């Protein structure tokens, strides 16, 4: 069994939980259209920050709590503070809002302007690129400082954001800029302009020698949500608005409309509604989002699961936690409103769920009630040692209430040492050494019956997920794995200071307290959504990557890193890591399979987990159709060193 250590993959910035009341929300809005040195002016950012300021004030935010940094301050709501959008002024505004913000407040950071990238120099991007925003006084590459002059980097934003999150401040990041290397250019007829500069536009060298070696830096931790205007491989655009002569960012314009018309909605739904209306122009632009609060309403209350409906099919399935028997309310638009129908799912495929025949046309589905979970099959309980001196009457009563005997057993309960060990169907107790069969531990305020129910729910979830992933995983006789994996171990005896990293074969002995690090690279040639789950010997499931709703999409050639630590109290056990990769099309919604680790999420698939999911699976091994899921299983054999061994 492990303890989560930390992931070293760094993501750009921000996030958070939506707009609370007036003085509890503070905002820094940056709009950069007039560049002092770069030949890269934009027409829309000043209009963008004006619109966002109006929306925030209309939602009841005090104008005095909004700082607007832009070159054209005409038409702004009365009472906002203003400054030019230079690097120094932006940093001063961020420092001021950080000083004023207290636990429970929400801080919004909005940026409209150019984004850019440079090769990673300190190792925190795992060989990728450092991302940046360009203030008004940004200039080109300066060799004497080894950086783009006056750029606002992701490292600087991280250093500002994490202390706020650690103090309980919620962060919202809204970015209308791109970081694509396709560069800044006007499209034919001057009908749209992209908001991004290529490295060559800034005279950034093609390759840069690392200046430092980054420590294993965790992603942002806390309550946050981050919405940005396009996918990582796309550009973001601004367009003229009708015949008004005004220009605005396509993302900002649509986002503002959704925020204006949606009193409450989860951020994921706000993102979906914004995306659904972005049809202007001929250039592809698909907004995206990440963060721990994507599933929370604008005012921070828990939100039900909601999914898009296209042509009578819910755009989610087994891999998103849906199952036959789930009930849904249907809505005519992504904004919600009054339900127009209620349905129960009869069929659920890997990533889609057709609505029953004759269902009214709908655009959005909200899950009301998950299907009842299937029953875990238990063998008859037995006692390990007769007359061992323990009273098992409470355990026997709990097991009698949970008894099932109508199908081959999933688990065999064994009464031992005053508790219950959950052995496999073979009934072998501790085959890998003392306590290698998981025991049920009664937690505070639990009875043996409640402890058994909790443990069986975890076991059922673990077994269901294993069967699910096995049933939908693609197989090939010749294909190479979609991910290149590299494992390293940092031994930390007795959980002291870890030693240097060294190669490791996890199928050989791993010790308690070991820190294990996985570097993985997308070698598939297409985008992959990657999820990593650790299946503990006690049937609990630990998500390793991504963490807290952060983006898990890897473009072709991209790499990332995740780390964890083996529990110092681990007994001998064979545990599993499943590295799961879902091939996705550009702009598709992300698939984060770590959400299924919660027993409350994945319910009632019944024998669907062990059946083939659709007609083409019978020949999947020889089909050219991309598999629904690619899976790499890694066994972790934990073998504690016994006292006296060397």
pLDDT tens digits, 10-36 = 223 333 344 444 437 899 999 999 999
Q: Which two tokens stand for residue 194?
A: 């992209």
Q: What is the pLDDT of residue 307?
A: 83
Name every residue whose Cβ is closer than 8 Å to that of residue 165 and which is 6 or more positions away in sequence. 171, 220, 221, 222, 223, 224
493-533 pLDDT tens trace: 888 888 899 999 888 878 999 999 999 999 988 889 999 99
Q: What is the pLDDT of residues 177-214, one digit of tens each?
A: 875 332 222 333 345 566 655 555 555 655 544 444 44
**At 217, is the pLDDT very low, low, confident or very high (cuts 50, 70, 90)?**
low
Cβ-proximal residues to 399 (8 Å cutoff; 6+ apart), any chain: 378, 381, 413, 420, 452
End-to-end CA distance of the chain: give it in Å, rounded.
Answer: 23
> What's 579's DSSP letter?
E
pLDDT band at 605 (very low <50, low <70, confident <90, very high): very low
- CA–CA separation, 361 and 638 (whole Å): 53
Mean pLDDT of 373-390: 86
Dihedral (Cα; 324, 327, 330, 334), 10-degree rounding: -80
Model confidence pLDDT, tens digit, residues 304-363: 667 889 999 998 887 677 888 999 999 998 766 789 999 999 998 877 899 999 999 999
Task: Report how far residue 221's alpha carbon sits from residue 109's, in angstroms, rounded to the nearest whole number.
Answer: 17
The DSSP H or E segment spanning 57 is helix 45-58
Q: Per-residue confidence at 599, pLDDT binned at 50, 70, 90?
A: low
Checking if the pLDDT of 414 tops 90, the result is: yes
Verify cis geometry, omega within 30 degrees of 0, for the bond prior to 546: yes
Domain 13-290 top-level CATH class: alpha beta
Tokens of 93: 């505004």
| Residue 289 CA: distances (Å) to CA of 116, 176, 550 | 19, 12, 8
- Other beta carbons less than 10 A from residue 401's beta carbon: 10
- The three-state secondary structure class of 125 is coil
The answer to whether 269 and 309 are in contact (CB under 8 A) is no
Largest interatomic CA distance in the chain = 90
**Domain ranges, ordered by start, for the chain:** 13-290, 306-369, 382-460, 462-638
- Among 208-217, 575-584, 624-633, the range with the most confident prediction by mean pLDDT is 575-584
Torsion angle defined by CA atoms of residues 86, 91, 94 and 96, in that order, rounded to the nearest 10 degrees: -110
Contact 33, 68 (CB under 8 A): no
List strand residue ranges (DSSP E) for 337-494, in order: 341-344, 353-354, 364-369, 382-383, 412-416, 419-423, 483-490
């Amino acid at each position: 069994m492990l303890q989560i250590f930390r992931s070293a993959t760094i993501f750009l910035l921000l996030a958070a939980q939506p707009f609370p009341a007036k003085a509890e929300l503070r905002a820094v809005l940056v709009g950069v259209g007039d560049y002092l040195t770069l030949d890269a002016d934009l027409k829309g950012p000043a209009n963008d920050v004006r619109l966002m300021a109006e929306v925030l004030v209309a939602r009841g935010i005090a104008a005095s709590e909004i700082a607007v940094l832009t070159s054209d301050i005409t038409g702004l709501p009365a009472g906002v503070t203003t400054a030019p959008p230079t690097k120094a002024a932006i940093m001063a505004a961020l420092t001021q809002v950080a000083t004023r913000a207290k636990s429970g407040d929400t801080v919004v950071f909005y940026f409209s302007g150019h984004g850019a990238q440079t090769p990673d120099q300190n190792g925190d991007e795992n060989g990728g690129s450092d991302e940046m925003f360009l203030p008004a006084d940004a200039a080109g590459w300066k060799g004497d400082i080894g950086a783009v002059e006056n750029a606002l980097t992701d490292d600087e934003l991280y250093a500002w954001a994490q202390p706020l999150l650690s103090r309980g401040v919620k962060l919202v990041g809204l970015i209308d800029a791109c970081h694509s290397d396709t560069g800044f250019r006007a499209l034919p007829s001057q009908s749209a302009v992209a908001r991004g500069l290529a490295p060559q536009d800034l005279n950034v060298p093609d390759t840069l020698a690392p200046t430092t070696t980054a420590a294993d830096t965790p992603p942002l931790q806390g309550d946050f949500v981050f919405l940005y205007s396009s996918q990582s491989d796309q550009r973001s655009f601004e367009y003229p608005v009708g015949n008004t002569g005004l220009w605005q960012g396509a993302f900002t314009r649509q986002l503002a409309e959704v925020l204006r018309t949606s009193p409450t909605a989860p951020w994921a739904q706000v993102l979906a509604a914004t995306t659904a209306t972005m049809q202007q122009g001929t250039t592809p632009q698909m907004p995206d989002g990440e963060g721990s609060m994507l599933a929370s309403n604008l005012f921070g209350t828990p939100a039900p699961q909601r999914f898009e409906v296209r042509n009578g099919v819910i755009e989610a399935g087994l891999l998103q936690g849906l199952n036959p028997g789930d009930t849904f309310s249907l809505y005519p638009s992504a904004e919600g409103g009054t339900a127009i129908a209620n349905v129960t799912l009869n069929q659920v495929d890997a990533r889609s769920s057709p609505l029953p025949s004759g269902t009214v046309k709908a655009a959005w589905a909200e899950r009301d009630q998950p299907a009842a979970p299937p029953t875990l099959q238990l063998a008859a309980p037995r006692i390990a040692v007769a007359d061992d001196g323990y009273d098992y009457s409470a355990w026997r009563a709990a097991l009698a209430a949970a008894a099932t005997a109508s199908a081959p057993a999933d688990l065999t309960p064994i009464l031992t040492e005053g508790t219950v060990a959950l052995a496999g169907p073979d009934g072998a107790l501790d085959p890998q050494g003392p306590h290698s069969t998981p025991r049920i531990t009664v937690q505070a305020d639990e009875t043996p019956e409640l402890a058994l129910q909790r443990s069986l729910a975890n076991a059922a979830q673990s077994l269901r997920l294993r069967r699910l992933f096995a049933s939908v995983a693609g197989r090939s006789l010749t294909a190479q794995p979609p991910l290149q994996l590299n494992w390293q171990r940092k031994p930390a005896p007795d959980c002291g200071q870890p030693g240097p990293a060294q190669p490791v074969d996890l199928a050989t002995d791993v010790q308690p307290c070991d820190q294990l690090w996985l570097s993985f690279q997308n070698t598939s040639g297409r985008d992959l959504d990657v999820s990593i789950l650790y299946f503990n010997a006690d049937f609990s499931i630990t998500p390793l990557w991504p963490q807290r709703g952060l983006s898990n999409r890897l473009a072709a050639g991209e790499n990332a890193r995740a780390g964890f630590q083996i529990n110092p109290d681990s007994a001998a056990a064979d545990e599993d890591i499943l590295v799961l990769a879902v091939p996705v099309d550009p702009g598709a919604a992300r698939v984060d399979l770590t959400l299924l680790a919660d027993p409350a999420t994945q319910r009632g698939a019944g024998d669907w987990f062990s059946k083939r999911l659709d007609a083409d699976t019978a020949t999947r091994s020889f089909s050219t159709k991309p598999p629904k899921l690619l899976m790499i299983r890694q066994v972790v054999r934990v073998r504690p060193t016994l006292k006296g061994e060397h």
